[in-house]
Structures are given as C-alpha cells and as structure tokens.
C-alpha cells in the first residue's frame, strides 16, 4: 500500500453545511457562513477585522493594495518562500528584495532584513515556516523604527503561537491559507486579517470590487458606488460553509496532528541534522539531509518503498525572469536542496507511521 504525502481531511459535517447554503439561496459572497468564518477568526485569535478570500494568494494581493505598494517601492520577501508571497507585490510594480534564512531554520533572518532596508523599503513579508514563529518582536522593532509595513504570511500557521500570542497578530496585516494542503482547508481558500485599524475601511472596498457594496448589503446605504481600486476577493458562501465545519473541529484536528508530529520527533530526531524541537501547529515534519544528493537518493528510496515524501520551496532569488540571481542566500539554498518533508495527514495509521519511521531510519543507517 502506498502512503501519500497529503490527504485532505474531512470533518463530516461539510455537506450538511453546504445544504444549508442551498436552503438559504445565498450562494454569492458575504453570506451567513462567510460571516461565521470571519467572526470565528476575529473572536478566537483577536484580529480587529477579517476578510475571507479565495486563497492566501488573494489575501496577499489585497495586502499589496491596502498598503499602497507602487512602482519603485521595495518589498523584502524571504527567498525561502512561496511564489505568491512575491507575486502579490510584483503585481503592484514593486522591486522584490530577497532575504536570507536563518542558518538553522528556514525562517527569515532579522539580520538579513536589517541589511536590506533602504529608504525605498515599503514592506517586510515574513513566512512562519511550518507554523514556527519568526522573531516577531525584533522584526516589529526594526519595522517600526523605519516606518515599514509588516505582513505575516501565516499560510501555514493557523493555531500556532509565539510567546503566548497567536501568529498573525504581530504584523499590521496577516494572511492565512485554507488550501487543501494546510491544516484546515476548503480546497482553496484564504483569510486576510487586519491588526492595524487604519486599514479596515479601505479593505471593505478592495474586497468588493473597489465599491462600498458591503455597506449596501448591510442596509447602511441605498446604492453602492466606486470608492477605490479593488477586485473580486470574496469566495462563494458554500466554500465558507465547508470551511466553517472545519473551523469547529480545529482543536481536535490540531491535537491529532500533534500526535503524529510527536511520533516522528520521538523516533527520528537522532537522525535529523537540524533537531526539530518546536512543534508549532504540527503543520509538517521535515528532515534536513547532509546534501542534495542524499536528499534525492532518500526521495528515490522512499518512492521505491511506496512512501511519498516531498521537497519544498525552491529559493525564489534563483529564477528565470527576475534579475535577482546575484542575491546571496546560501542558507535558503541549503533548505531548498536538503529539506524533505514526510507524509503528514490525519489518515496515517499507527502502522503507517511505524513503517515510515522504520524505512527512514534504515535509509540513514545504511549510509
């Protein structure tokens, strides 16, 4: 039997919720379930205002509009990151400045951020890799001193905390993903979360095609009109219905993921080059190989054993179309070449986990 890298989880109440949308007859955005999802996030995590979006990519693009990124602005993005994290600001004409990872962790290095700040720096985007916190206090200090926006790409970080405070609540804005590869999902989906209240009014317009349609739908005005530049970022309400059923099971989903993470950690930490000691939100478990060849051999060997393992980000500064290949991010490249993730989903049985850890140990012992 082959073991898949990911298998999206189903809580069981999704269809029930979707049939309520059909009964309601409100299929478009900003319906009952959209509001429930946003309220859930605002209440549980303490955001000032949340907007459900079609993806984390959408939420990042909204961020670029809200902080008014313009051509000539520089935006600092971790090289060890996802394409959307950079694209959202490229779309606004920004120059993307790629930052280095820490030597012992894929997260962005504060020292690298400090070295890259110029008078043109408009924003710093951080990614909490696998739900492990970046050094947010230091990052906010550096940003506030230089009057720079901070956006947390918290795509992988739902439920994760840093110094007893939820990730996503440190920066001016944060973005979450509900893609089916994340801990909580709706197939595709995302959330823009606002901590800086000065951005809320405009976010309402940007979310609804640059208009004040939200106020119209809430019965506050008689007709709606054009207020800003915007786009169509709100998902249909049956996506929200699916998602809300997952939200209500968030504690049990996270706890079950932690059991898997702890199993891997207990059985594999002695072979892992970088000891994984921080559980975060148990989004993923990865091994750092000695070099790229070993990583590739490992992937091949696991494939032969019918175990699907997965590499992750390719350093963004090395690409075919931006003139950024001269950036030096050796740590980010190390993680691109040497990091490999083990299967991680809630359909893994204890037999599966034993089989995986035995095969992993065997590979590294043989070497």
Ligand X SMILES: *Cc1c(COP(=O)(O)O)cnc(C)c1O
Measured from the CB atom, the residue of 83 and 226 that comes closer to ligand X is 83
- In whole angstroms, the minimum distance from the beta carbon of 265 to ligand X comes to 21
- In whole angstroms, the minimum distance from the beta carbon of 281 to ligand X comes to 12
Measured from the CB atom, the residue of 155 and 160 that comes closer to ligand X is 155
Q: With the CA atoms of 286, 156, 131 and 265 taken in that order, what torsion angle do they form, in degrees rounded to the nearest 10?
A: -30
First-residue to last-residue Cα distance in the chain: 25
Measured from the CB atom, the residue of 84 and 195 that comes closer to ligand X is 84
250-268 and 237-247 helices, crossing angle to 10°: 60
- In whole angstroms, the minimum distance from the beta carbon of 82 to ligand X comes to 4
Would you tell me which residues interact with ligand X (CB under 6 A)?
55-57, 82, 84-85, 127, 153, 155-156, 177, 179, 190
- In whole angstroms, the minimum distance from the beta carbon of 92 to ligand X comes to 17
Measured from the CB atom, the residue of 69 and 108 that comes closer to ligand X is 108
Measured from the CB atom, the residue of 97 and 154 that comes closer to ligand X is 154
CA distance linking residue 154 with residue 107, whole number of Å: 12
Measured from the CB atom, the residue of 11 and 127 that comes closer to ligand X is 127
CA distance linking residue 367 with residue 364, whole number of Å: 5
- In whole angstroms, the minimum distance from the beta carbon of 235 to ligand X comes to 11
- In whole angstroms, the minimum distance from the beta carbon of 333 to ligand X comes to 18
- In whole angstroms, the minimum distance from the beta carbon of 363 to ligand X comes to 27
- In whole angstroms, the minimum distance from the beta carbon of 118 to ligand X comes to 25
Measured from the CB atom, the residue of 69 and 360 that comes closer to ligand X is 69
Measured from the CB atom, the residue of 241 and 353 that comes closer to ligand X is 241
């Amino acid at each position: 039997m082959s073991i898949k890298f990911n298998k999206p989880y189903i809580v069981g109440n999704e269809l029930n919720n979707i049939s309520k949308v059909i009964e309601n007859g409100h299929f478009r955005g900003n319906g009952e379930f959209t509001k429930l999802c946003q309220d859930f996030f605002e209440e549980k995590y303490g955001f000032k205002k949340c907007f459900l979006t079609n993806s984390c990519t959408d939420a990042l693009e909204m961020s670029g509009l809200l902080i008014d990124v313009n051509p000539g602005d520089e935006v600092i993005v971790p090289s060890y990151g996802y394409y959307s994290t950079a694209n959202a600001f490229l779309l606004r004409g920004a120059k993307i400045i790629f930052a280095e990872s820490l030597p012992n962790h894929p997260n962005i290095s504060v020292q690298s951020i400090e070295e890259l700040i110029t008078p043109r720096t408009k924003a710093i985007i951080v990614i909490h890799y696998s739900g492990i916190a970046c050094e947010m206090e230091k990052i906010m200090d550096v940003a506030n001193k230089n009057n720079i926006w901070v956006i947390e790409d918290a795509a992988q970080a739902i439920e994760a905390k840093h110094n007893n405070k939820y990730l996503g609540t440190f920066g001016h804005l944060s973005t979450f993903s509900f893609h089916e590869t994340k801990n909580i999902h709706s197939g595709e989906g995302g959330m823009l979360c606002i901590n800086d209240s000065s951005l809320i009014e405009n976010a309402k317009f940007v979310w609804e095609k640059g208009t004040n349609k939200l106020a119209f739908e809430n019965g506050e005005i008689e007709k709606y009109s054009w207020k800003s530049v915007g786009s169509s970022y709100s998902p249909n309400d049956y996506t929200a219905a699916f998602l809300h059923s997952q939200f209500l099971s968030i504690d049990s989903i996270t706890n079950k993921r932690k059991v898997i993470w702890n199993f891997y950690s207990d059985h594999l930490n002695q072979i892992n080059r970088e000891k994984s000691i921080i559980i975060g939100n148990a989004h993923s478990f990865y091994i750092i190989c000695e070099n790229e060849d070993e990583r590739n051999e490992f992937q091949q060997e696991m494939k032969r054993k019918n175990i699907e393992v997965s590499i992750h980000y390719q350093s963004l500064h090395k690409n075919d179309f931006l003139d950024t290949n001269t950036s030096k991010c050796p740590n980010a490249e190390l993680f691109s070449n040497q990091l490999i993730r083990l299967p991680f989903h809630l359909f893994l049985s204890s037999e599966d986990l034993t089989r995986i850890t035995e095969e992993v140990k065997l590979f590294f012992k043989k070497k």
